[in-house]
Every structure is written in C-alpha cells, then in structure tokens.
Amino acid sequence: MSTPEIEQIDSQVKGAFIPARHGRETGVIVLSGSSSRVDTHRAALFAKAGANALALRWFGAVGQSPGNGLISYRPLFEQSLTANPEAVQRAQIPIEKTAADIVLVAGGDDALWPSDMFAQQLSRRRKEYGMPVSLVVDRQAGHRILLPGENTPRSTLHAHGGSDEADARLGEAAWRKIMTLL
C-alpha cells in the first residue's frame, strides 16, 4: 500500500488533510475524541475508501483547551446534564441544519460519556425533520471504536468501557454503513 499524501495544517486549526485517492468530492471529518491527537491513520482509511479526509485536533494543541478539564466519566457527565437543562439545550448540535449524510456511531458501554444516549437523541431529531440518518450502536462496545485495520491501544488514563472484541465489532458495523455512503 502506498503512503498517502498528507497535508499538515498548523494554524488556529491543527490537523491533517488527506485527499481521496480517486478524486471524489465526498468528505469526512475525523475527530479523535479524548486522545487529543491528529488521527492520520484513521483519515488515511477514509481516503483509501474514496473520501477526502480532514483529521482535526480539537483540544490539546498550543492555543487550544488542554482537555484535562473535560468530564471523563459517564456518571459525572450524566449528573452534569441535570444541573443546567437550559445550557444543555443551548449546547445541542443542530443536526437538522445539515444536508450531509450522517452516520452516528456509539458504544452502549461507553464509560467516558453517554454517547449512545446522545446518538439516539440526534437520530430522533434528524428523523423528526424527515432527514435520513444511520445509527449504529453496539450495547457491549465502549468509547473506543476500532475500524477495520485499527489497533488503537486502550488508554491507561481513562476507563473506556467495552472490550477489544465489542469495540472492533462496532467498528466493523460502522464501516459497512460508512462504505454505503462513500
């Protein structure tokens, strides 16, 4: 397999852009979650599959939030959702405002935050507006989603829930759904 062309982005936004190998217009944004890394390996998987891939670091870089103030454990996160319902309402992602194809992926045993609950809420809102959405949930998977060919090690700092097998199973199911869009 040839090495993909990677354009590093080092400005207010930190990341990398990897163009599709087949010159398509489809694009994917890869956010690395709690790792605060630029996940060029995952972006390269999408580029190989035919999508332009933009891997972004959304915290942890110079000039960005360090990320160490994030609530990292699901029970605390769930408790915080009840503390200020108005703030929660304001923070909702306006998923109904995009015409993009959406695939939501979540593990039901996510120990960092209630990703399954949020994915289901987003899916419901999208459907209420008559817009297509794909929801992929594995009740036994955790926070870490392993796409085919990935072997991201478990964090030694955070409990992610799930198991290697369940996280890989969720990744396989998500990848099949994603490939129907690419």
Final residue before a domain boundary, out of 69, 88, 123: 69
Final residue before a domain boundary, out of 69, 93, 108: 69
Specify whether 126 is located in the same domain as 154: yes
Structure tokens at 164: 């290697």
Q: How many domains does the chain have?
A: 2
Residue 11: phi and psi, rounded to 5, are -140, -140
pLDDT by residue, tens only, the chain of 182 residues: 566 788 888 877 788 999 997 767 888 888 766 566 788 888 899 999 889 998 887 666 666 555 544 444 678 778 878 888 898 889 889 999 999 999 999 999 998 889 999 999 999 999 999 999 999 999 999 998 999 998 887 776 677 889 999 999 999 999 999 999 98
Specify whether 13 is located in the same domain as 46: yes
Specify whether 178 is located in the same domain as 102: yes
| End-to-end Cα, the chain, rounded Å | 20
Specify whether 55 is located in the same domain as 88: no
User: What's the pLDDT tens digit per position in 89-126?
Assistant: 898 899 999 999 999 999 999 988 899 999 999 999 99
Range of the domain at 94: 71-182
Q: Helices marked H in the chain — which ranges?
A: 40-48, 74-83, 85-90, 115-128, 164-181
Q: Distance (Å, rounded) from C-alpha 81 to C-alpha 120?
A: 16
Question: What pTM was estimated for this model as a whole?
Answer: 0.73
For strands 52-57 and 27-31, give the pairing.
parallel
Structure tokens at 84: 């200020």
DSSP letter, residue 111:
S
